[in-house]
């Protein structure tokens, strides 16, 4: 019955996909009413983990000039559910998107459950913004899709559209550019991240007329890269750089405490061959983010040169993290460890104090309401995230959240999924996790549990769930159950306020080995 329902809703969603077939969507609010509203440039990367930021000088410059969120997490370390949460401000249990494919995931489920009409793009466009998405959209989307329309489909809410399908190889792909299919080849000029950089700069030029008599329409530009997602193809100019870089050897690298581990994490030691492969992949990832970093720098220079710095917010983030050898895991994601769910978020713009570090818990469901508040409008009560604008202005609300919720459906059993995990990289069963400021609690669908005391064990090396008393276990279970079934801002806020009892006294702190030297 569930499959029939989803198929019906997908069909209904596709039939009512958008009135955008005839031309890219147009705003419904007069431009003159929005002239003072800020522009937003949002760079969203794919699988960019925090350990790549040290190799990105322009992103590091953003951190010096703006605000860095040190505790920013995703609702699921998987592309489609994470991007859905970014677009809508909803947890997966409210959006209906849990995976990259099938009845519970991907582009078709996204539309079938009505998410296309409740993105931040739709909200901003209704308030007079020009909106653009360039690069990656959702798993399962293809540029040539038409449905019942005469021309390739462009979703509602987007004034401008230049989006690819599965372009992970960075060369030889197609873009749907405002209903027109444009093919790109294998030459240096066709490298996708560079193409997106050029399209983004052209968009900024077109959106900011130099004629003082022309009305200024505020814009939102999302540049969504496929890099550094596997196979992590770098631009040709970066192919032979960083030849001696190694994957970071944190205390979790190759670590395995068999006591208390869930069954899916019962893994063999990393062999020397596996470690060499991890190092090679990390070098590819470092190389592939160089073009992203150059794109960030070029766009920031353009914004400055056009005199827009005092009226533009620049946001940099990632949809997922990525583990590489931690907990003996081969390269991959989808776990509840910080390597996978904790990602960069850096914001630069007017009113933000340079070099600010924000430790408050934040999540990708917060981006949609943040963009909406920057655009001068409060979010719908249905949105489950909270605007980060008060934090960016240096004011943490007294009732700010106590935890973030992570929801994962697994294991992934579709070999055609670009995120299908290789053996040993981690393919956990379904779980719900609560990440507190000082602890991580994971409740698996198969009845297993994890609890990490992050004050004593910041690298999540020892599962101490068995040491918790019955009262605390029961409260944690109630907390995650209430959180994972909340809908709307008010209900989810109430679930978040259902505080567990204070943490039990930490056991003897874990002694960490010195970090290995890096070449």
- CATH code of the domain in which 363 resides: 3.40.720.10
Question: How many angstroms separate the CA atoms of 385 and 89, rounded?
Answer: 5
pLDDT higher than threshold 70 for residue 77: yes
Q: What is the pLDDT of residue 10?
A: 42
User: Based on the number of CB atoms within 10 Å of its own CB, is 285 exposed (0-12), middle (13-18) or buried (19 or more)?
Assistant: buried
Q: Is residue 122 part of a domain?
A: yes
Q: What is the pLDDT of residue 14?
A: 44
Question: How many angstroms separate the CA atoms of 289 and 293, rounded?
Answer: 6
pLDDT higher than threshold 70 for residue 515: no
Residue 335 DSSP SS3: coil
Least confident of 102-111, 212-221, 242-251, 427-436: 212-221
DSSP 8-state code for residue 380:
P
Residue 199, CB half-sphere, CA atoms under 13 Å: how many?
26
Residue 288 DSSP SS3: helix
Which residues have a Cβ under 8 Å from the Cβ of 141 and sit 6 or more positions away? 107, 163, 165
Question: How many angstroms separate the CA atoms of 498 and 146, rounded?
Answer: 46
Backbone φ and ψ of 127, nearest 5°: -105, 25
Q: Is residue 144 part of a domain?
A: yes
The pLDDT confidence band at residue 407, using thresholds 50, 70 and 90, is very high
| Percent of the chain residues topping a pLDDT of 70 | 88
Q: Is residue 70 part of a domain?
A: yes
Closest CA relative to residue 319, chosen from 408, 228, 405 = 228
Q: Is residue 85 part of a domain?
A: yes
Which residues are bridge partners to 435 per DSSP?
Answer: 404, 440
Q: Is residue 482 part of a domain?
A: no
Q: What is the pLDDT of residues 111-155, one digit of tens each?
A: 999 999 999 999 999 999 999 999 999 999 999 999 888 999 999
SS3 string, 191-240, reads CHHHHHHHHHHHHHHHHCCCCCCCCCCCEEEEEECCCCCCCCCCCHHHCC
Identify whether the C-beta of residue 410 lies closer than 8 Å to the C-beta of residue 428. yes
Q: Is residue 354 part of a domain?
A: yes
Backbone φ and ψ of 183, nearest 5°: -100, 140
The whole model's pTM is what?
A: 0.91
Q: Which two tokens stand for residue 51?
A: 């350990």
Residue 255 sits in which domain range? Answer: 9-401
Identify whether the C-beta of residue 283 lies closer than 8 Å to the C-beta of residue 182. no
Q: What is the pLDDT of residue 212?
A: 62
Burial annotation 27-47 (CB, 10 A radius, 16+ → b, else e):
beeeeeebeebbbbbbbbbbb
Q: What is the pLDDT of residue 23?
A: 43
| Percent of the chain residues topping a pLDDT of 90 | 84
Q: Is residue 72 part of a domain?
A: yes
Scan for tokens 């959240």, then name that residue: 401
Number of structural domains the chain divides into: 1
The pLDDT confidence band at residue 258, using thresholds 50, 70 and 90, is low
Q: Which two tokens stand for residue 215?
A: 């009305």
Q: Is residue 251 part of a domain?
A: yes
């Amino acid at each position: 019955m569930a499959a029939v329902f989803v198929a019906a809703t997908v069909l209904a969603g596709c039939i009512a996909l958008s009135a955008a077939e005839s031309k890219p969507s147009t705003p419904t609010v007069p431009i003159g009413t929005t002239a003072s509203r800020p522009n937003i440039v949002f760079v969203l990367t794919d699988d960019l983990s925090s350990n790549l930021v040290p190799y990105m000088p322009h992103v590091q410059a953003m951190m010096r000039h703006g605000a860095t969120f040190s505790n920013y997490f995703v609702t699921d370390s998987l592309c489609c559910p994470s991007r859905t949460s970014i677009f809508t401000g909803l947890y997966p249990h409210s959006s209906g998107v849990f995976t990259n494919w099938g009845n519970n995931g991907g582009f078709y489920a996204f539309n079938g459950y009505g998410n296309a009409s409740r993105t931040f793009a739709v909200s901003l466009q209704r308030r007079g913004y020009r909106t653009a998405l360039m690069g990656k959209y959702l798993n399962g989307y293809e540029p040539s899709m038409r449905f019942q329309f005469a021309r390739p489909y462009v979703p509602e809410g987007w004034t401008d559209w230049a989006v690819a399908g599965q372009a992970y190889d960075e060369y030889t792909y197609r873009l749907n550019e405002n209903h027109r299919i444009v093919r790109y080849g294998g030459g240096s000029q066709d490298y996708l991240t560079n193409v997106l950089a050029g399209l983004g700069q052209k968009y900024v030029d077109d959106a900011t007329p130099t004629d003082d008599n022309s009305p200024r329409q505020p814009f939102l530009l999302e540049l969504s890269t496929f890099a550094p997602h596997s196979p992590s193809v770098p631009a040709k100019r970066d192919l032979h750089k960083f030849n001696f870089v190694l994957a970071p050897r944190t205390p979790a690298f190759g670590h395995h405490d068999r006591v208390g581990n869930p069954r899916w994490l019962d893994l063999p030691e990393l062999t020397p061959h596996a470690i060499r492969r991890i190092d090679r992949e990390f070098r590819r990832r470092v190389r592939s983010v160089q073009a992203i970093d150059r794109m960030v720098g070029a766009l920031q220079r353009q914004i400055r040169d056009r005199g827009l710095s005092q009226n533009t917010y620049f946001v940099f983030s990632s949809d997922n993290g990525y583990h590489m050898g931690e907990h003996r895991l081969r390269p991959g994601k989808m776990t509840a460890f910080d390597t996978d769910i904790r990602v960069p978020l850096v914001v630069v713009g007017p009113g933000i104090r340079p070099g600010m570090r924000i430790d408050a818990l934040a999540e990708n469901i917060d981006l949609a309401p943040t963009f909406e508040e920057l655009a001068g409008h409060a979010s719908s009560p249905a949105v489950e995230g909270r605007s980060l604008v008060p934090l960016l202005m240096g004011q943490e609300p007294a009732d700010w959240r106590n935890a973030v919720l992570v929801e994962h459906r697994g294991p992934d059993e579709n070999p055609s999924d670009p995120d299908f995990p290789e053996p040993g990289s981690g393919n956990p069963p379904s779980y719900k996790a609560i990440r507190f400021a000082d602890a991580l609690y994971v409740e698996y669908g198969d009845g297993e549990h994890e609890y990490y005391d992050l004050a004593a064990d910041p690298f999540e090396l020892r599962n101490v769930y068995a040491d918790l008393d019955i009262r605390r276990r029961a409260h944690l279970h109630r907390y995650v159950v209430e959180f994972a079934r909340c809908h709307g801002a008010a209900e989810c806020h109430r679930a978040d306020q259902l505080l567990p009892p204070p943490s039990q006294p930490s056991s003897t702190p874990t002694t960490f080995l010195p970090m290995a030297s890096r070449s």
